[in-house]
Amino acid sequence: MARALSDDLRVRVLEAGAAGGSARSVAKRFGIGISTAIRWLRRERENGERVVRLRGRALQAYVEHVLVPTLSPGDLVVLDHLPAHMIPRARKAIEQAGARLMFPPPYSPDFNPVEMAFAKLKALLRAKAARTVTALWDAAGSVLDAFTPDECANFFTAAGYEPE
């Protein structure tokens, strides 16, 4: 199974490479494959890219080993139109767990309940004024209780969906 590598690890690898470490030494230091270190360092050198790309195999591994074990019959899984989300095997695994799949219409922030939640989340995080990664994670955890189940259902209703 492919393992998910955090953005934090990627940043540390790239910083070690920028400090003069070779791809081989950086890979050994952080316990990642040499080809992964080479790819990350080359991507940043060529175009400044540091983002994690979610591809089909990574999504499939996440669905099978992380998401599906937490699902109960009747749960709702909302997927957007990312090509990785269209993998039949991932969709089948979710449905076999008894969960329902929901695809919102092609992207429109007005019809995306996640955008409404993110707007509130960003406002709450701005109010916390966290200035370090650790403080931001702590702030994010502390504001999540501000989202009530009724309010989340209202986000869906406002976007044109009728939650059960």
pLDDT digits over 39-70, tens only?
889 888 887 777 666 667 778 888 888 899 99
> Does 155 reside within a domain?
yes
> Does 119 reside within a domain?
yes
In whole angstroms, give the CA distance from residue 102 to residue 155.
15
> Does 164 reside within a domain?
no
- Binned at pLDDT 50, 70 and 90, residue 1 comes out as very low
Question: Tell me, what's the pLDDT at 68?
Answer: 94
Contact 163, 153 (CB under 8 A): yes
Q: What does the pLDDT average to over 128-140?
A: 90
In whole angstroms, give the CA distance from residue 100 to residue 155.
18
Contact 96, 134 (CB under 8 A): no
Q: Are residues 154 and 122 in the same domain?
A: yes
> Does 125 reside within a domain?
yes
Q: Are residues 118 and 146 in the same domain?
A: yes
Question: Tell me, what's the pLDDT at 3?
Answer: 47
Question: Tell me, what's the pLDDT at 70?
Answer: 94
Question: Tell me, what's the pLDDT at 2?
Answer: 45
pLDDT of 126 strictly over 60 = yes
Question: Tell me, what's the pLDDT at 54?
Answer: 61
Tally of domains in the chain: 3
- Residue 162 has phi, psi (to 5 degrees) of -115, 100
Question: Tell me, what's the pLDDT at 22?
Answer: 92
- Binned at pLDDT 50, 70 and 90, residue 7 comes out as low
Q: Are residues 61 and 78 in the same domain?
A: yes
- Binned at pLDDT 50, 70 and 90, residue 93 comes out as very high
Question: Tell me, what's the pLDDT at 6?
Answer: 58
Q: Residue 71's domain spans which residues?
A: 56-103
Q: Are residues 40 and 65 in the same domain?
A: no
Contact 108, 134 (CB under 8 A): no
Instruction: Retrieve residue 137's tokens.
Output: 């994670």
Q: Are residues 98 and 115 in the same domain?
A: no
H-assigned helices in the chain: 7-18, 23-30, 34-47, 56-62, 88-96, 113-128, 133-143, 149-158
- Binned at pLDDT 50, 70 and 90, residue 88 comes out as confident
Contact 41, 17 (CB under 8 A): yes
Q: Are residues 126 and 93 in the same domain?
A: no
> Does 2 reside within a domain?
no
Q: Are residues 155 and 116 in the same domain?
A: yes
Question: Tell me, what's the pLDDT at 43?
Answer: 84
Q: Are residues 60 and 37 in the same domain?
A: no
> Does 33 reside within a domain?
yes
pLDDT, mean over the chain: 84
